[in-house]
Amino acid sequence: MSEADNHLMVPVRLDALRVDSTLKSRPAMADFSKLPYFDRSRDVNGGTAFVSEELVSAPFDDTGELSPGVHLHWALPDALTQSLDVRSKKDKDLEAHSEKTKGFAFPAVPNMWLITRYDGDDTVGTSYLVESDYVYPPGEGATSGAVCYPIGYENAGPREPPFRYMGRCLDEAHWDWLDKPHEHLKQVTDYSLTALGYGEPTFSAYYQNCQSVFGFKDPKPPIEGVETTYYLAGWYREAEHDFCHADIVRKHFAHRSFDFENAKKNTSCHSENGLKFSQSFNWNVAKNEVKGETDFPVKSLYFSRLILTADKPPKAQDSMASLSVSIANTATEALSAHLAEALAGKKSEIEDKLEALHLLQDLGHLSVDTGPKFREARHARGFGPVTL
């Protein structure tokens, strides 16, 4: 089997949202362009305190916008969105003696994505290339539609902002720009792009967080009465970061009776070792129709297809019809009250028990006066610092 045939093809979910006029939405989870720094002449955002509340979006904030067009968002496969245990036997022995180790890590994700659009029976499509980890030069990219990404003060140059704009989309006429000097996330921060981005669990799952990284906006609306098809293909620009070769995957298998390096060279996906690899990530590798077995993949490719039918989109439904709201002094009280309504039993008792779970970290060590301490802690949760 040639190397060209020996690729692991991984399907991904691709979603689309057609926007006919500017649509209000929630913004990204945090706006890092508010971070304070000193440029060549003055303090920028000097009034911003170094607390997260200054950056994170508030509940019910609808200051975000989705511009007209077709917005595509792809979901990464589960294997790339879960941490891998990379602890050695020595690390685990240290943890048994209460010494901290860096034992879990997330794998790098594909950073090149090709989107091709076909209208009706077209045989030649329109293609775009998304470079997920492309980082704009300091001070550029604010109006490009790229997401604002923190790089840390230690990685910013003198008088440069501690954030950059990341992710770009190139049409076919500008693919030669890939050959021009430019920076990627790993060059700026020394770490690769993962599903968590800067550390936000919903980074790759929430479109506004990653719209230029794991998303794409086609400014051209679908042609009325014509079926539109989008094809998506993703891969790793650097072969050494590919999931089938990544050092993090090798470490993950190092103490699981699986010689990852030997498996890549001498085994098939359907041998004992090969099955350990695929089953660990809930992947079902199809057998080769000629050989009966499939050689261990040399690369991974990620693909999807989405068809927008020629029918007119359905009328918007009233999303408020099934909406339920719980109001309380704190978010945890509101969540407890909301869940108590859905559970059988005495509502007040269920609500107290659920609230106690949220306070377990503060109250779990107590053996006396748990009731009064619980009420005191719940009351204290209703207060917080205010920036004047």
* Structural domain contains residue 251: no
101 confidence band (pLDDT: 50, 70, 90): very low
Residue with tokens 């607390």: 51
* Structural domain contains residue 84: yes
Same domain, 7 and 44: yes
Q: String of b and e for 301-332 (b: at least 16 CB within 10 Å)?
A: ebbbebebeeeeeeeeeeeeeeeeeeeeebeb
Q: Is a pLDDT exceeding 70 seen at residue 48?
A: yes
Instruction: Give the residue, 150 or 371, on which the prediction is more confident.
Output: 150
Position 170 scores a pLDDT of 95
102 confidence band (pLDDT: 50, 70, 90): low
Same domain, 62 and 104: yes
Out of 113-122, 165-174, 218-227, 299-308, which region has the weakest mean confidence (pLDDT)?
A: 218-227
What order of strands is seen across the sheet that includes strand 215-218? Answer: 13-19, 69-75, 215-218
Of 128-132, 299-303, 358-362, give the range with the top mean pLDDT: 128-132
Position 74 scores a pLDDT of 97
Q: What type of residue sits at position 47?
A: G
Nearest to 79 by CA among 375, 278, 346, 328: 278
Same domain, 228 and 91: yes
Position 42 scores a pLDDT of 86
Same domain, 30 and 134: yes
Distance CA 99, CA 76 (A): 33
* Structural domain contains residue 221: yes
Same domain, 229 and 110: yes
Position 97 scores a pLDDT of 41
2 confidence band (pLDDT: 50, 70, 90): very low
Using a CB cutoff of 8 Å and minimum separation of 24, what contacts does 103-108 make?
A: 105/248, 106/80, 106/81, 106/82, 106/194, 106/195, 106/196, 106/248, 107/79, 107/80, 107/194, 107/243, 107/246, 107/248, 107/249, 108/192, 108/193, 108/194, 108/236, 108/241, 108/243, 108/246, 108/248
Phi, psi of 323 (to 5 degrees): -85, 135
Out of 104-118, 139-153, 260-274, which region has the weakest mean confidence (pLDDT)?
A: 260-274
Same domain, 93 and 226: yes
Instruction: Give the residue, 103 or 203, on which the prediction is more confident.
Output: 203
- Across the range 219-234, mean pLDDT stands at 90
Q: Which of 308, 343, 360 is the last residue of a domain?
A: 308
Instruction: Give the residue, 146 or 285, on which the prediction is more confident.
Output: 146
* Structural domain contains residue 341: yes
Distance CA 139, CA 161 (A): 7
Strand locations in the chain (E): 7-11, 13-19, 23-25, 37-38, 43-44, 64-66, 69-75, 84-85, 104-105, 112-119, 126-135, 147-150, 163-171, 183-184, 215-218, 228-235, 299-308
* Structural domain contains residue 375: yes
Same domain, 13 and 112: yes
Position 95 scores a pLDDT of 47
Q: Is a pLDDT exceeding 70 seen at residue 373?
A: yes
Instruction: Classify 122 in phi/psi space as left (phi over 0), alpha (psi -120 to 50) or beta.
Output: beta
* Structural domain contains residue 34: yes
Position 89 scores a pLDDT of 57
Same domain, 231 and 374: no
Q: Is a pLDDT exceeding 50 seen at residue 116?
A: yes
Between CA 213 and CA 202, with CA 195 as vertex, the angle to 5 degrees is 90
Residue with tokens 């659920």: 354
List, in sequence order, the alpha helices (H) in 241-369. 247-253, 260-266, 272-280, 331-342, 347-358, 360-363
Distance CA 149, CA 218 (A): 22
Could you tell me the sign of the dihedral formed by the alpha carbons of 153, 159, 165, 169, in that order?
negative
For the stretch 229-283, pLDDT in tens is 999 999 999 988 888 877 777 777 766 656 566 655 555 555 565 666 677 777 7
Nearest to 300 by CA among 386, 242, 365, 240: 242
Q: Is a pLDDT exceeding 60 seen at residue 92?
A: no
Residue 357's domain comprises 331-380
Same domain, 192 and 339: no
Average pLDDT score over the chain: 82
Instruction: Classify 172 in phi/psi space as left (phi over 0), alpha (psi -120 to 50) or beta.
Output: alpha
299 confidence band (pLDDT: 50, 70, 90): confident
Q: Is a pLDDT exceeding 90 seen at residue 110?
A: yes
- Across the range 186-215, mean pLDDT stands at 94
Same domain, 154 and 214: yes
- Across the range 84-96, mean pLDDT stands at 61
Per the structure, the count of domains in the chain is 2
For the stretch 186-200, pLDDT in tens is 999 989 999 999 999
Q: What number of other Cβ atoms are within 10 A of residue 54's Cβ? A: 16
Q: What number of other Cβ atoms are within 10 A of residue 166's Cβ? A: 28
* Structural domain contains residue 99: yes
Position 320 scores a pLDDT of 54
Same domain, 302 and 367: no
pLDDT more than 70, % of the chain: 80
* Structural domain contains residue 289: no
Q: Is a pLDDT exceeding 90 seen at residue 3?
A: no
Quick check: 128 and 169 in contact, CB under 8 A?
yes
Position 46 scores a pLDDT of 86
295 confidence band (pLDDT: 50, 70, 90): low
Residue with tokens 């967080």: 209
Same domain, 225 and 368: no
Position 255 scores a pLDDT of 61
DSSP annotation of 177 reads G
